[in-house]
Amino acid sequence: QTKLDNTNCLQKMIDGELEVIDKEIKRLTAEKTARVRKKEWLKNRVDAFVKRQFTDENGNVDEEGVHKYKLDLPHSKISYRKSDSVEVTDLETLPEEYIKTKIEKNPDKVAIKNAIKGGKEIKGAKIVTNYNIQIK
């Protein structure tokens, strides 16, 4: 009986430890989320500061200037890389060959991008050039 009682007490103690561990997991998850948000906020501030140097009085960004921008700092480097992405402006007007159908309609952005770059005009889509900041 003593051994059974001690075993049950050990189980209760483990249950208490599990509760503490669950609370710590929730706390650490919240802390991680907050740090991810803060990192993204800081990255956006650096991006806005750099782009402000290449923005005219009308708010237009000199994309070529941003693309050529490179800064080597003692502990980091800042540069922009160019990437192209497809922005679907009207899903309903896209030809069926450029739509992936599962449960819902999704445009086949890879096929659309290749077609537009190949000289084909696709109604309802266009290529948008993006400049993404890299901080190493």
pLDDT tens digits, one per residue of 25-65: 999 999 999 999 999 999 999 999 999 988 988 888 888 88
User: Cα–Cα distance between 73 and 136 in angstroms, integer?
Assistant: 10
Contact (Cβ atoms closer than 8 angstroms) between residue 93 and residue 124: yes
Cα–Cα nearest to 82, from 132, 136, 117? 132
Cα–Cα nearest to 134, from 57, 65, 12, 50? 50
What local confidence, expressed as pLDDT, does residue 136 receive? 55
Provide mean pLDDT across the span 9-29.
95
pTM for this prediction: 0.58
The helix or strand, by DSSP H or E, that contains position 26, with its residue range, turns out to be helix 2-52
Identify the DSSP state of 118.
T
How distant is the alpha carbon of residue 30 from its chain centre? 19
What local confidence, expressed as pLDDT, does residue 5 receive? 86
What local confidence, expressed as pLDDT, does residue 82 receive? 87
Cα–Cα nearest to 125, from 135, 112, 110, 108? 112
How distant is the alpha carbon of residue 25 from its chain centre? 24
| First CA to last CA distance, the chain | 63
